[in-house]
Amino acid sequence: MTKEYYGSAKVPLTPVVRAGDYVFISGQVPFDADGNIVPGGIQAETRAVLDNLRACLDMAGCGLEDVIKTTVWLRDRDDFAAFNEVYGAAFSHNPPARSATESRLMIDIAVEIEAIAYKPL
């Protein structure tokens, strides 16, 4: 199996790795193009994370429709309903399997999402 690496980061990780028919997306956070945290609360942050996730998937020739599994970390479980509203709109048809947990995140953000996609070469 061949592996392909896409993108670069300022930390020791690769944002997107394709391993055969599978694409692994590192945890995406609500940063804008300048590296600033997107303001506006959980829904704005979730939209930004999903935009960043789409950009990563695009690097590997995939889209949200190819995502089969996500893992979600929320800073506050009380944000779950508002988060789920935005997330559900993005994955409205055949949503992926998902794990979600409340967690203390590494930076001052409300949400982080990683994903696995399946797209045959």
Tens of pLDDT along 39-50?
Answer: 999 999 999 999
Residue 103 DSSP class: -
Greatest CA span in the chain, whole angstroms? Answer: 42
Tens of pLDDT along 72-111?
Answer: 999 999 999 999 999 999 999 999 999 999 999 999 999 9
**pTM of this structure:** 0.93
Sorted by sequence, the CB contacts under 8 Å of residue 59 that are 6+ apart come out as 6, 7, 15, 16
Cα–Cα distance for residue pair 30/51, rounded to 1 Å:
9
Superfamily of domain 3-118: RutC-like (3.30.1330.40)
Residue 94 DSSP class: S
